[in-house]
Structure 1
Amino acid sequence: MVNKHVIAVTMGDAAGIGPEIIVKSLMAPKLNGAPIVVVGCLRTFQRQQRLGIVPTAHFRSIAKVSDACFESGVIHVIDEPAASPDTLIAGEVQDQAGDLAFRCIKRATELAMSHDVQAIATAPLNKEALHLAGHMYPGHTELLATLTGSKDYAMVLYTDRLKVIHVTTHIALRKFLDTLNQQRIETVVNIADEFLKRVGITRPRIAVAGVNPHAGENGLFGTEEIEIVAPAISVMQKKGVDVSGPCPPDTVFLQAYEGKYDMVVAMYHDQGHIPLKLLGFYDGINITAGLPFLRTSCDHGTAFDIAWTGKAKPESMIASIQLAMKLA
């Protein structure tokens, strides 16, 4: 009988640190023998083990999740082979690595949509490699939304003490300013409220960051707060959501970190990423909220500069898998 709470872990970009941090994570005491299947290139994992890059493990190839028999020291792999795994070059952008990363996500999404797994934890992919392979997505969030047909979704960055959700992510600042609208802010506040309740916070307290310095200072430094952000907050307050703002962006993240709020709604990518990565780079988790299933990820990139050297730290990957298991 299949465990009802199996997690799928995707390889990410095989030329980066993804394979290494996956093996290190699954051989760590917290996860060794846990109900986890890996979607990735079996020969790449075996090649890294021969090179002494990853800890010793027994890689067992399985055709489907129900074939897994979880036990200590064994990593179950649903093989998604690279085009030419023996020619894969560590630390370099390659189309075969980008295509492999795409296929791993697609395969894992199919497993989640068919309820063979209950959540997905993803190792990092490289956007340039993804595009080189012809898959024109800005990142995991948008790719997963497309594969699942999801319309209302948002990126969450998660640590125990600071949680951030984003109104926009992988777009230029100019485009963000031109496309910012009240409906999107309302949608993200609602996603934040539902997500926090899902992770066990019964009465979430949400803060919305402003767009401009000092949240516009009553229109002195910009009017987006008056015209767009404040009306969205008002609508959500009337719906019973405990949401505050617009809050000055230079102080609201510290206030959340110190416990005043459970989550901050950040307006754009770097506004939310910089404080989160400063305070939780090694244990931060990236979550796509609003999908039909839970998706978590380590909150860092492919780290090509240390790829295949054995130096990659698995803490964020471990934390992302543990959270996926907990919520599943």
Structure 2
Amino acid sequence: MKPIVLITAGDPLGIGPEVTVKSLKNPLVQRVCFPVVIGEPTSLVRAGFSDKLARLIAIDSSVPLPDKPVPSFAGGETSFKAVELGIKLALKTKTPLVTAPINKQSWALYGVPYTGHTELLREHAGKEGLMMFISGDLRCGLVTEHFAVADLPHLLTQERIVAAGVHFNRALKQLGIQKPHIAVCALNPHASDNGKFGTEENEVIAPAVKALHRHKIKADGPLPADALWLAHASGQYDGLLCMYHDQALLGLKLAAKKPIVHITAGLKFLRVSPTHGTAFEIAEQNIANPSSMTDAILFAATRHLPPQIF
């Protein structure tokens, strides 16, 4: 029996409705799941949605949508309410949830107190949610996410690194890797060269790696991030535990040869999303590439990326 996959269509003024509809028209998506879309109906119909593609749970706006693709109260209202409902249904049914991109400014205009999906999901579906990304055999987890680089020395605690490592190790096992071998990235250049370029490696990250060993986790580090991406791409490690957002995404986007899927691991249900934003500048032009959204839905339905989609 095919699983149900919940899909929130994202900001109605962005490319979310378009990539959602294009993904639903993919025969493989229809073959592996029963999609249920939650979103603003006008934007979805404009993108080509019909009842033959999926069941629709409509989220209407209390004010008219703007005529142009811009951050808006209406976009924030409908996209936030869609995600709220998606979380409630996923919690109740343990059904996977795929989230098309929202716009943080639109959420702020509507008065949402969260900076994005991950923070909302942690509040309602598991405070231990770990942001991680997968592209083929490339896998990385983030210790910190949407924070200023200047705040990293204060945010990187031994406890935070250990917790991320434990959740990352568990997520890799759920992906079918029986004994994951994880590389832990350093924060500073050359892993601080034994304290010449910072103290975080010796005082925080190295003790955290030793703590991971006590959790029976095979972890190496802290190691320079630039060299680690090459080592990971060559198969030396099953995943990289990165200290901050761009340390993960810069290397991944350069090294990835297959589409990238974003997962929030450690929640009470599986949450997957594409790795792009609302892209207002190309919205409503029917030129958005749906591959990342398609892969997110396929992963949610099958827990892996089927090779035939590449």
Common fold, TM-score beyond 0.5? Answer: yes
For 1:41, the equivalent position in structure 2 comes to 40
Structure 2, unpaired ranges of 5+:
305-310
8 A contact 2:121–2:129 mirrored in 1: no
Give SS of 2:27's match. coil
CA distance in 2 between counterparts of 1:76 and 1:209 reads: 43
CA distance in 2 between counterparts of 1:74 and 1:162 reads: 32
User: Of residues 45, 58, 62 in structure 2, which corresponds to 1:79?
Assistant: 58
Give SS of 1:288's match. strand
How does 1:39-78 map onto structure 2 within 5 Å? 39-49=38-48, 57-59=49-51, 73-78=52-57
For 1:89, the equivalent position in structure 2 comes to 67
**Residues 8 and 306 of structure 1: CA distance in aligned 2, closer, same or farther (over 3 Å):** same
**Which whole-Å deviations, capped at 9, do the CAs of 1:269-294 have from their partners, x for residues lacking one?**
11111111223387111111111000
For 2:149, the equivalent position in structure 1 comes to 173
Give SS of 1:83's match. coil
**Which whole-Å deviations, capped at 9, do the CAs of 1:62-116 have from their partners, x for residues lacking one?**
xxxxxxxxxxx4321111112345x33342111110111111111010111111x
For 2:137, the equivalent position in structure 1 comes to 161
- Number of residue pairs matched? 303
CA distance in 1 between counterparts of 2:67 and 2:240 reads: 40
Q: Which runs of 4+ in 1 moved over 4 A?
A: none
For 2:197, the equivalent position in structure 1 comes to 221
Q: How far is 1:161 from its partner?
A: 2.6
Q: Does 1:307 align with 2:307?
A: no
For 1:269, the equivalent position in structure 2 comes to 245
User: Of residues 96, 111, 121 in structure 1, which corresponds to 2:89?
Assistant: 111
CA distance in 2 between counterparts of 1:90 and 1:9 reads: 24
Give SS of 1:260's match. coil
8 A contact 1:208–1:246 mirrored in 2: yes
CA distance in 2 between counterparts of 1:310 and 1:280 reads: 25
CA distance in 2 between counterparts of 1:223 and 1:74 reads: 55
Over the matched positions of the two proteins, sequence identity in percent amounts to 36
Counterpart code for 1:275: G
Q: Does 1:32 align with 2:41?
A: no
8 A contact 1:282–1:316 mirrored in 2: no
Give SS of 1:319's match. helix
8 A contact 1:90–1:308 mirrored in 2: no
Structure 1, unpaired ranges of 5+:
50-56, 60-72
Give SS of 2:166's match. helix
**Residues 206 and 90 of structure 1: CA distance in aligned 2, closer, same or farther (over 3 Å):** farther
For 1:65, the equivalent position in structure 2 comes to none
**Which whole-Å deviations, capped at 9, do the CAs of 1:263-319 have from their partners, x for residues lacking one?**
101101111111112233871111111110000000111111101100000000011
Q: Does 1:212 align with 2:188?
A: yes
TM-score, normalised on structure 1?
Answer: 0.88
**Which whole-Å deviations, capped at 9, do the CAs of 1:232-262 have from their partners, x for residues lacking one?**
1001112210111001011111211111111
Q: Does 1:294 align with 2:270?
A: yes
Counterpart code for 1:131: A
Give SS of 1:30's match. helix
**Which whole-Å deviations, capped at 9, do the CAs of 1:27-69 have from their partners, x for residues lacking one?**
01211353110011122212333xxxxxxx522xxxxxxxxxx
Q: In terms of mean alpha carbon deviation, does 299-308 or 150-159 score higher?
A: 150-159
For 1:8, the equivalent position in structure 2 comes to 6
Counterpart code for 1:32: Q
Give SS of 1:168's match. coil
CA distance in 2 between counterparts of 1:151 and 1:180 reads: 17
CA distance in 2 between counterparts of 1:89 and 1:161 reads: 42
Q: How far is 1:144 from its partner?
A: 0.8
